[in-house]
Amino acid sequence: MITSGKGGVGKTTTSANLGAALAKRGHKVILIDTDIGLRNLDLVLGVEKRIVFDLVEVVEGRCQVRQALIKDKRFSSLWLLPAAQTREKESVSEVQMKQLVVDLAELADYVIIDCPAGIEHGFRNAIAGALEAIVVTTPEVSAIRDADRVVGKLTDAGIPLRLIVNRIRPEMVKTGDMMSVEDVCEILQAELLGAVPDDEEVIDSTNRGEPIVLDETNRLAAIYDKIARRLGGEIVPFTNLSAPGFIGRLFTLWKAG
Amino acid sequence: MMRAFESPAASSQTVGAAGVARAELEPVPQRAAARGRAIVITSGKGGVGKTTTTANVGAALAAAGKRVVLVDADVGLRNLDIVLGLESRVKHHLLDVLEEKVTLDEALIRDKRSDNLYLLAAAQTREKEDVITAQMKALIETLRDRFEFVLIDCPAGIEMGFKNAVAGANHAIIVCTPEVSAVRDADRVVGLLPNDWRPELIINRLRPHLVKKGKMLSVEDVNGILRLPLLGVIADEPNVIVATNKGEPLALDATSETGAAYRAIAAKICGQDVAAPTVSLSGGSFLSKLGSLFGGRA
């Protein structure tokens, strides 16, 4: 599951791009949007016009799960199970959610659960079927405090977690106006899965419904690919965000390794 | 530069400790001449700037001489105290008041910069389901007797926390960023608010250079869908992150353009005739995509 506590830190963007990066590597991936009532993963993937059935209808037995899965046209092994837009999060129970994830795990190598913001019913549903968690946070005090709450809840639930630090602005880290990735990992006491720089192209890619990993010329494509490999257990060195061609500034975000 | 983290335990004071806190109480303004307005700041989508907006509009209203209380309704994930730089002064919170463990006066935290700005913090180690809607409503009613403005910082989403935040309010400000997902969520929230409200819109984090390049929705794109009275437009600037980390709202920074935009919003809320926002670039390139999403309401 992809979670964060705080909203707007990039859970849905991460879900879409990580899913696409895994699919590009040939893995079968199912993305589940659990943000019932406020779905957005369909938009980020650009499949909003192709939704016929949704998660709630699957859970209520009104359609087969295969009927509700939307196959991405760009990646042959990526599917989306969209959330219902006009229902409430209480429409689905934790037990139903758990069963759904078990069923979907039969069909795919990876089931990625895009969690809603907050720690209410929607969060408890998303956590129900998850075997491991990715906590997305930005290097801001408020996001880290919320992430800390979520890390506590995941730990209580016995779910292992790794961290993606999103929207890093290296120039602000350098001037001391933003926390570094190391600071964030230190505060949250969590293992780093990936560090993603802030990129204006992400906003446009979301509006167009084309995950940024489709653009091979964008540096984020390589970064998400590395995250996908780490997720599969590979040991991949972290990208040095100060490498030439990035912002041209000489400083290091991470110590080697 | 960065501030150390508060232990969540800091907020879990016992009733017995309340007597100690009483000695340090700041005077709280009693009865306003007329009942205040209770405005909920909401968005649907998280991370679009509800808390930043609440802090800045509140600080700007207080700087204009209004008596203002900010209520953090994000039980379990509070942040308004951080944005205001008051996190080390949170001793009691909203649930303590609702559960009558402390009085309202004991829980209200006076802002360090302004005599007429107060914060009622959220509980950090409790759940949103612990708040009883009727009690929340009664609390906001009480606050309206004592303050001219009660600004309620709503949590993300449309679950119980949203319902509680809206319960006592009589007006709403919708915060939306120029992104398709934020506009869709905002549209959903407007549909959930009482029919007789006329929510006002703040468009946050606009990047004019991206709008110009056709890579970001324009003010017209966003409001072409939402069709709400426009209260203001705030440009994206890295200083907001810095200000949040420092706990100093930009609205109090006389040299900041963003601060000036928040002060203009506050003046507009007070009924002053303020010039329309100038950050407006024509776009329209996204309208067809947006239109297909909002066949229902728009």
Q: Are B86 and B119 in contact (CB under 8 A)?
A: yes
Nearest to A35 by CA among A70, A84, A80: A84
Residue A239 lies in a domain: no
pLDDT for the residue numbered B174: 98
Please name the helix (run of DSSP H) or strand (run of DSSP E) that holds residue B241, with its range, or none: helix B239-246
Q: The domain containing residue A91 runs over which residues?
A: 2-231
pLDDT for the residue numbered B20: 40
Candidate from A38, A148, A204 with C-beta closest to B157:
A38
Residue A245 lies in a domain: no
Chain A nearest-CA residue for B176: A8
Candidate from A12, A140, A201 with C-beta closest to B245:
A140
Burial group, residue B235, by CB count within 10 angstroms (0-12, 13-18, 19+): middle
Which chain A residues are within 8 Å of B161, Cβ to Cβ? 118, 120
Q: Full-prediction pTM beyond 0.95?
A: no
Checking B78-81 for CB contacts under 8 A at 24+ apart, the result is: B78/B121, B78/B122, B78/B123, B78/B124, B79/A6, B79/A142, B79/A145, B79/A146, B79/B51, B80/B51, B80/B54, B80/B55, B80/B119, B80/B121, B80/B122, B80/B153, B81/B109, B81/B119, B81/B121
User: Residues of chain A with pLDDT > 90: what percent?
Assistant: 91
How many CA atoms lie less than 13 Å away from A155 in the CB half-sphere?
10
**Given a cut of 60, is residue A183 above it in pLDDT?**
yes
Q: Is B169 helix (H, G, I), strand (E, B) or coil?
A: coil
Candidate from B180, B238, B242 with C-beta closest to A43:
B180
> Domains in chain B and their CATH numbers?
38-293 (3.40.50.300)
Residue A132 to residue A84: CA distance in whole angstroms: 24
Residue B191 to residue B208: CA distance in whole angstroms: 29
| A and B: number of Cβ contacts within 8 A | 141
Q: Could you give the C-alpha distances from B226 to A69, B41, B43, B182, B293, in angstroms and in order?
A: 30, 16, 12, 11, 12
pLDDT for the residue numbered B273: 82
- Classify strands B68-72 and B117-120 as parallel, antiparallel or unpaired: parallel
- Classify strands A70-71 and A78-81 as parallel, antiparallel or unpaired: antiparallel
CB atoms within 10 A of CB B33: 6
Residue A250 lies in a domain: no
Residue A121 lies in a domain: yes
Chain B nearest-CA residue for A172: B238
Q: Which residue has the higher pLDDT, A224 or B244?
A: A224
In this prediction, the residues of chain B whose per-residue pLDDT falls under 50 are: 1-2, 4-25, 32, 280-285, 288, 295-298
Structure tokens at B62: 């207080």
Residue A252 lies in a domain: no
Residue A116 lies in a domain: yes
Which chain B residues are within 8 Å of A211, Cβ to Cβ? none
Q: How far is A230 from chain B (nearest CA, A)?
A: 27
pLDDT for the residue numbered B241: 87
Average pLDDT over chain A reads: 92
Q: Is A116 helix (H, G, I), strand (E, B) or coil?
A: coil
**Given a cut of 50, is residue A209 above it in pLDDT?**
yes
> Which CATH number does the domain housing residue A73 bear?
3.40.50.300
Q: Could you give the C-alpha distances from B264 to B48, B60, B204, in angstroms and in order?
A: 20, 9, 14
Classify B187 in phi/psi space as left (phi over 0), alpha (psi -120 to 50) or beta: alpha
Q: Are A52 and A68 in contact (CB under 8 A)?
A: yes
A149–B210: do the CB atoms touch at under 8 Å? no
Q: Are A166 and A136 in contact (CB under 8 A)?
A: yes
Burial group, residue B51, by CB count within 10 angstroms (0-12, 13-18, 19+): buried
B79–A146: do the CB atoms touch at under 8 Å? yes
Residue A158 lies in a domain: yes
Residue B240 to residue B206: CA distance in whole angstroms: 13
pLDDT for the residue numbered A119: 96
Residue A30 lies in a domain: yes
In chain A, the number of structural domains is 1
Residue B262 to residue B114: CA distance in whole angstroms: 16
**Given a cut of 50, is residue A148 above it in pLDDT?**
yes
Alpha helices in chain A (DSSP H): 11-24, 41-45, 55-59, 65-68, 94-105, 121-128, 141-156, 170-174, 181-188, 201-208, 219-231
pLDDT for the residue numbered B10: 40
Q: Which one-letter amino acid corresponds to residue B247? A: G
Q: How far is A105 from chain B (nearest CA, A)?
A: 28
A203–B210: do the CB atoms touch at under 8 Å? yes
Q: Give Cβ neighbours of residue A242 (< 8 Å, ≥ 6 apart).
A: A170, A249, A250, A251, A252, A253
Structure confidence by residue, pLDDT tens digits, A75-92: 999 999 999 999 999 999
Helix, strand, coil share of chain A (percent; to 5): 40, 15, 45
Q: Could you give the C-alpha distances from A111 to A27, A105, A126, B49, B183, in angstroms and in order?
A: 11, 6, 12, 31, 28
Residue B159 to residue B145: CA distance in whole angstroms: 28
DSSP per residue over B69-98, as a string? EEEE--TTS--HHHHTT-GGG--S-HHHHH
Confidence of residue A241 (pLDDT cuts 50, 70, 90): low
Which chain B residues are within 8 Å of A38, Cβ to Cβ? 44-45, 157-158, 184-185, 188
Residue B154 to residue B271: CA distance in whole angstroms: 23
